[in-house]
Amino acid sequence: MSGTSTSKRPFVFTADNKVLAEAAITHYPADRSRSAVMPLLDIAQRQNRGWVSHEIVEYVAEYLDMPVIRVLEVATFYSMYNLKPVAKNFVQICRTTPCWLRGSDDLVKAFRDFAGCGIGETSTDGAFTMIEVECLGACCNSPMVQINDDYYEDLTPERFTKILRTLKEGKTPDPGPQSTRSGSEPVGGLTSLTSVGGDD
Amino acid sequence: MPKLTIDGVEVDAPDGATVLQACQLAGKEVPHFCFHERLSVAGNCRMCLVEMERAPKPIASCAMPAGEGMVITTDSDTVRQARRGVMEFLLINHPLDCPICDQGGECDLQDQAVAYGGDRTRYEENKRAVTDKSMGPLVNTVMTRCIHCTRCVRFTTEIAGVSEIGMLGRGEHAEISSYLERSLTSELSANIIDLCPVGALTSKPYAFAARPWELKKAESVDVLDAVGASIRVDARGASVLRVVPRLHENVNEEWISDKTRFACDGLRRQRLDQPYVRRGEKLEPATWDEAFGAIGERIAASDGKRIAAIAGDLCDGESMLALKDLMGKLGSPHLDCRQDGAKVDANVRASYLLNSSIAGLETADAVLLIGTDPRREAPLVNLRLRRAWLEGGAEIGVVGPARDLNYPVTALGAGTDTLTALKDGKIAFLETLKNAERPALILGMGALARSDGAAILAVAREIADLTGMISADWNGFNVLHTAAARVGGLDLGIVPGAGGKDVPSILDAATNGEMDIVYLLGADEIDMSRFGDAFVVYQGHHGDAGAHRADVILPGAAYTEKHGTYVNTEGRVQLGRPAVPPVGEAKEDWKILRALSDVLGHKLPYDTLGDVRSAMVAANPVFDEIDIVSKAEWAPFGTAGALGEAAFELPIDDFYLTDPISRASVTMAACSRELSGGTEKGTGTNG
Ligand code: SF4
Ligand code: FES
Ligand code: FES
C-alpha cells in the first residue's frame, strides 16, 4: 500500500455516509458489529474517490473497535478495495478466457491508443485508470469492461473508444450491451420464447 | 471419548481431540506445520493429510474432530503420495538457502523434506520473492521462506493478546507483516521465533551465531522474574549464546518472556571477573586472599550488632543460606532478602505465595489485582490471566495504576482508600468476587513494598476471607513477587532475627553511622548513597550499582554458571544448572561464603553442594520437594494498622531493564529504547 490520503484533513464519514455505515452495522448481531468491516470500507472508499488509504483503514478499525491489522487484512484480501489512488474513471478489463477469445487484447490496445497508458496505469490527464480483472460473470456478452459501477458489454475497439470519449467529456454513456441486442439474447434474434404469454 | 482405529490399532481419544491428536496418541507421527496444540486450528498447510475410511480423498487430520468409529490410515501409499504433493507445492516458492539459514538443523520443513521432499524440482518458473519485514529488535525476518502457516499471527492474537501481525494480500501475494511494519509490543513476542516452522522468523540477536549441533545445552530455570520458567541454556565454549524455553505445563507451558530469552547477552558484559579492594578512591584488582583479608580486618574491628547483610533478587538458595549462617556466627541479626522493603511475613508461607498456582489462575473467574502489573512483572502469569478472561470470562478488577494488560479490566481506584472501600462493600466489585466460584486476588509489590505494607497485607487477607477465596480445594490469595530469590529467601528465613533490622532500617542505620559493615549478596536495587561511611562488601556477578559503591568486591557466578535452588512465586522449588563456568576468577556463591567463613574463623559446616542442600532441607523441608507445589497452610498473618494515603506505585516501569543482567544487555537496551514507553503509541490506531 502506498501513498497517503489526498486530503489534509483527517478522514471522517460524511453525515450521509455515517447513516449508511450505521445502517450496515445493524445488519449484524450487536456483538458481531465487526462483520460490518466490508461495507464500511466500501462506503469509505466511495467517499475517498475510489481508494482506501491508511487513514481509512485506521478510521474503520477505530469505528468498529477492532485491531487495525485485521482491517488491513480484509482490505488487502479483496481486490475490490483499491489501495492506491485511482482516476475518476476506473476501468476494470476482463481478460479471462471467454473475453480474451472475443478480443479483450484489442480493447487494451484501443485503451492505450486513446488514454496513452496500459494495464495498471493511470493516464497522464488523470481521467482513466485501468486494471486487469478476472471473469466478471458477463461472459455471454464478452468482451466486457467494468467502469466504476457499470458493466459495458459486447465491446469492439470502436465502441469502447466511443465510451471512453463520452466519459472524457464528462458524460456517462449508457451501460449494458453496446450491440443491438438486449441483455444476453442471441445476436441473431430470438429463436424461442418469441412472444410473452403467447399461444405457440 | 471416541474410539478410533488408527493403522489397525484402537485408541480412545479425549473428547474434543482432533484426528491428528488421536494419531499422536496411537504413537503415529503425522507431519504438520500449521497445527499447534496451543493455538486455534487453521488447517492451511495440508501437510497432515491422512486417509479416512469412506472419505473420497485424504483429510486434513488437524482440522477433523476425532469421531467414534473412524478408521484412519496414516502410512498408505495414497497418504505418502499426498504428502509428497503438498511438500512439492510448499517447496515451489521456498528458497534453497538452508546453508545460510539460521533455522538449519532445527527446521520442521527441512526435517519433513527429508521424508517427503523430492530430490529434484519440476518447477521451472521464477520463484516468488517477498521483501523482508521489520518486526522490531528481536525478530529477524526472511519472508521469502514463509509458508503461510499463520502460527505467528495466531500466537500474537490469541496468546500474547496483541493483534499486531496479520496476513496481508492473498494467494500468491500473501505476506505476513505487522501493521506498517511496526515493532511488536508484546513481552512474549519472540516465542514466534520458536513457533515458526521454517526460517522466516529467526532470532535477531542470535543471527548467524552458531549451529544448533555445536551448542552445549543445560536445562535450567530462569531467574529474571519470579515465575521460574523452565529454560534451556545453549552455550558454546564459555559463552551463553541463547536461552530457549523448555516445556513445563504448570509454569511456562512452552513460552518464555523476551527478557528471559534475550537478556543473556548481558552475561558477557560488565562482569566482575576478579576480586577488587578499594584503595583510596579507586577499586583495585586484588587476590582472593587480599579481599578476604580486608574483610576480616574490618569484621574483627567491629561487632556483630553493627554488621548487616542484604540478599538480592537473583540469589540462589544455597548462597542465601550460607549468608544467613555466616551472619549468625558473626552475631548479626540484621539480615534481609527484601531489597524493596516488601512487608511480607516470613512466618506464614501462605501469606507470601501465589497460592492458586500459576496454572490454577486460569480457572479463576473473578480476579482482583492490587498494586501489580502482571504484564510487566510476570508476562507468563499475565497470559494465564488473559486466558481466564478469554476462555472463562473472568472479570478482572485493578486497584492501583491500570495499565494495558492485553485484556479488559475494571479500574477500581488508585490506592488504599479504594481497598478499604472495597472491603467495606462500597464498591460493587466485592459482590463480583463474592458471587464468583473461584475468586482470587493478586497482591503485588506495588502494594507491599511500602511502609504500610503489613497493614495492606492484613486488609487483603480480610478481603480474601470475606469473599470466600479460601476453601478446601481453592486458595485465591496470591502474592506476585518480582524477584526470583524472594520466596526462597523467605523459606530460608532470610529476614531480620530477634532485634534485627530490615532493609529500610539497615539503610537508616548506615546513614547515621550506626552500621560498620554491610554485606551485599547480589543486592543492586537499593539506594547506594545511603550507606554513608559503612564498609560495603559486594558479592555478585555484575558491575552494577552495588559494585560501584563497594569497598571489596567478591566475584560471584551468574545463574547460568552455578548450581542453584530457586523457589518461584507459587512456592515451587526448582534447580538451576550451570551451562558455562564462572568467568575469570569468579566462584559459585555459596563457596565464596564458605571460604570467607573459614578466613573469619567461623567455618560453615558444609563442604559440598550436597551438604549445603541437606542444610537447606534441615532449615525448611520444602527444599526436599523439587518441582512440587504443596498446599501452604492458611493461618493468621498481616498486622492491622493505619493505611497510608499514597496511591500504589507499580514496581516495574521498564520491563526490559529490571536487574543487573538485563541492564548489561545490549538487546534489552535496544528493546527499552524502542518499546518501553512506546507501548501505548505502538498499539494505537492513530499512527
Ligand atoms: S512467518 Fe513463519 S510462523 Fe508466520 S506464517 Fe510464515 S511460516 Fe508461519
Ligand atoms: S470471461 Fe470476461 S466476463 Fe467472464
Ligand atoms: S497441520 Fe493440518 S493443515 Fe496444517
Please tell me the number of Cα atoms within 13 Å of B589 on its side-chain side: 32
Instruction: Give the model's confidence band at B569: pLDDT under 50 very low, under 70 low, under 90 confident, else very high.
Output: very high
**A61 interfacial to chain B (CB closer than 8 Å):** yes
Kindly state whether residues A108 and A163 are assigned to the same domain: yes
As a whole-number percent, the residues of chain B with pLDDT over 70 amount to: 98
Task: Let me know whether A51 and A120 are in one domain.
Answer: no
ipTM of the prediction: 0.90
Domain around A131:
89-177
* Cβ-contact B454, B345 below 8 angstroms: yes
Which grid coordinates are listed for B627? 518441582
Interface contact flag, B180 A62, Cβ < 8 Å: no
Q: Is the pLDDT of residue B679 over 50?
A: no
pLDDT at A192: 85
Average confidence (pLDDT) over B71-95 = 95
In the listed set A53, A77, A101, which residue is the last one of a domain according to the structure?
Answer: A77
Cβ atoms of residues B454 and B343 within 8 Å? yes
Task: Report the DSSP beta bridge partners of residue B574.
Answer: B566
What is the reported pLDDT for B235? 97
Q: Which three cell numbers stand for residue B598?
A: 573459614
Residue of chain B minimizing CA distance to A83: B169
Does B685 reach chain A within 8 Å, measured CB to CB? yes
d(CA B42, ligand 3 centre) in Å: 7
Instruction: Copy the grid coordinates of residue A169.
Output: 467529456
Mean residue pLDDT of chain B comes to 95
pLDDT per residue rounded down to tens, chain A (200 residues): 444 444 567 999 999 999 999 999 999 999 999 999 999 999 999 999 999 999 999 999 999 999 999 999 999 999 999 999 999 999 999 999 999 999 999 999 999 999 999 999 999 999 999 999 999 999 999 999 999 999 999 999 999 999 999 999 999 999 999 999 888 988 888 888 888 765 55
- The predicted pLDDT at position B686 comes to 33
Please state the atom number of ligand 1 nearest to the C-alpha of residue B153: 4
Domain contains A55: yes
- The answer to whether residue A187 sits within a structural domain is no
Report CB contact under 8 Å: B163, A73: no
Q: What contacts B124, CB < 8 A, 6 or more positions away?
A: none
Q: Do B178 and A69 touch (CB under 8 A)?
A: yes
- DSSP H or E run through B477: strand B477-480
Cα-trace Rg, chain A? 20
Residues A101 and A137 in one domain: yes
Decide if A69 and B686 are in contact by the 8 Å CB cutoff. Answer: no
Residue nearest atom 8 in ligand 1 by C-alpha distance: B149
Distance B385 CA to ligand 1 centre (A): 26
Question: Are residues A98 and A135 part of one domain?
Answer: yes
| Interchain pair B685, A76: CB under 8 A | no
Q: Do B163 and A67 touch (CB under 8 A)?
A: yes
Nearest ligand (C-alpha, residue B149): 1
Confirm whether A165 is domain-assigned: yes
pLDDT at A1: 43
Do the domain assignments include residue A104? yes
Asked whether B82 lines ligand 3 (CB < 6 A), one says no
pLDDT for residue B683: 37
- Judged by CB atoms closer than 8 Å, whether chains meet at B685 and A62 is answered as yes
> DSSP of B396-450, one letter per residue?
EEEES-----SS--EEEESBHHHHHHHHTT-STHHHHHHH-SSEEEEEEHHHHSS
Tell me which chain A residue has its CA closest to the CA of residue B157. Answer: A67
Gap from A14 CA to chain B (nearest CA, Å): 19
Contact B179 A69 (CB under 8 A): yes
Of all atoms in ligand 1, which is nearest to the CA of residue B165?
Answer: 4
Nearest-by-CA chain B residue for A76: B169
pLDDT at res. A199? 55
Q: Is A54 on the interface with B (CB under 8 A)?
A: yes
Find the CB nearest A69 among B166, B169, B686.
Answer: B166
Q: Is the CB of B43 under 6 A from ligand 3?
A: yes
State the amino acid at position A65 in one-letter form.
Answer: D
Query: Which ligand sits nearest to residue B44's alpha carbon?
Result: 3
Within 8 A by CB and 6+ apart from A173, the residues are: A152, A162, A163, A166, A167
Residue whose Cα lies nearest atom 7 of ligand 1: it is B146
Interface of B with A in 171-230 (CB under 8 A): 178-180
The verdict on A46 and A106 lying in the same domain is: no
Other Cβ atoms within 10 Å of B37 Cβ, number: 12
pLDDT of residue A2: 42
Report the domain count for chain A: 2
Q: Is the pLDDT of residue B104 over 80?
A: yes
**Among residues of chain B, what percentage have pLDDT more than 90?**
96
Q: Cβ of B164 and A72 within 8 Å? A: no
Instruction: Give the closest ligand to the alpha carbon of residue B103.
Output: 1
Residue of A76, A83, A134 for testing the chain B interface, max B β-carbons within 10 Å: A76
Shortest alpha-carbon distance between residue A53 and chain B (Å):
12
Residue B493 region, left (φ>0) first, then alpha (ψ -120 to 50), else beta?
Answer: left
Same-domain check for residues A22 and A59: yes
Q: What is the pLDDT of residue B539?
A: 98
Query: Do residues B539 and B592 lie in contact, with contact meaning Cβ atoms separated by under 8 Å?
Result: yes
Domain boundary among A54, A77, A100: A77
Q: Name the residue of chain A whose CA is nearest to B686's CA.
A: A58
Nearest CA in chain B to A73: B168
A77 neighbourhood in chain B, CB within 8 Å = 168-170
Which chain A positions have a beta carbon within 8 Å of B170's beta carbon?
A: 76-77
pLDDT at A195 (0 to 100)? 80
In the prediction, which pLDDT does B684 show? 34
Per-residue pLDDT of B480-530, as tens digits, reads 999 999 999 999 999 999 999 999 999 999 999 999 999 999 999 999 999
- Nearest residue on chain A to B182, alpha-carbon basis: A69
Q: Which atom of ligand 3 is nearest to the CA of B34?
A: 4
- CATH number of the CATH domain containing A66: 1.10.10
Number of residue pairs across A and B with CB atoms under 8 Å? 32
Instruction: Specify whether the CB–CB gap between B186 and B164 falls below 8 A.
Output: yes
Q: Is A120 on the interface with B (CB under 8 A)?
A: no
Do A33 and A102 fall within a single domain?
no
When pLDDT is cut at 50, 70 and 90, the band that residue B410 belongs to is very high
Instruction: Classify residue A83: in a domain, yes or no.
Output: no
Distance to chain A for B15, nearest Cα, Å:
29
Q: How far apart are CA B309 and CA B323, in angstroms?
A: 8
Summarised one tens digit per residue, pLDDT across range B164-210 is 999 999 999 999 999 999 999 999 999 999 999 999 999 999 999 99
Q: Which ligand number lies closest to the CA of residue B196?
A: 1
Please state the pTM of the whole predicted model: 0.93
Q: A97 and A67: one domain?
A: no
Show residues of chain B in contact with A120, CB under 8 Å.
Answer: none
A54 and B165 within 8 Å at the Cβ level: the answer is no
Question: Would residue A4 count as lying in a domain?
Answer: no
For residue range B650-669, list pLDDT tens digits in order: 999 999 999 999 999 999 99
**Residue from B38, B93, B145, B176 whose mutation best tests the ligand 1 pocket (most atoms within 8 A of CB):** B176
Tell me whether residue A192 is in a domain: no
In this structure, are A68 and A146 located in the same domain?
no
Answer whether A121 touches B (CB < 8 Å).
no
Report the C-alpha gap between B290 and B99 in whole angstroms.
Answer: 52
CA A141 to ligand 2: nearest atom: 3
Residues A109 and A45 in one domain: no
Quote the cell numbers at residue A135. 471473469
CA-nearest of B59, B66, B113 to B89 is B113
Indicate whether B346 pLDDT > 60. yes
Domain CATH for A148: 3.40.30.10
pLDDT digits over B20-38, tens only?
999 999 999 999 999 999 9
Check if A72 contacts B (Cβ < 8 Å): yes
CA of A24 from ligand 2 middle (Å) equals: 30
Does A68 contact B179 at a Cβ distance shorter than 8 Å?
A: yes
Question: Is residue A157 located within the same domain as residue A110?
Answer: yes
With respect to residue A1, please indicate whether it lies within any of the assigned structural domains: no
B41, B57, B62, best to mutate for ligand 3 pocket (most atoms within 8 Å of CB)? B62
Asked whether residue A70 falls in the same domain as residue A109, the answer is no
Which of A77, A97, A115 corresponds to the end of one domain?
Answer: A77
> In angstroms, how far apart are the furthest CA atoms of chain A?
66
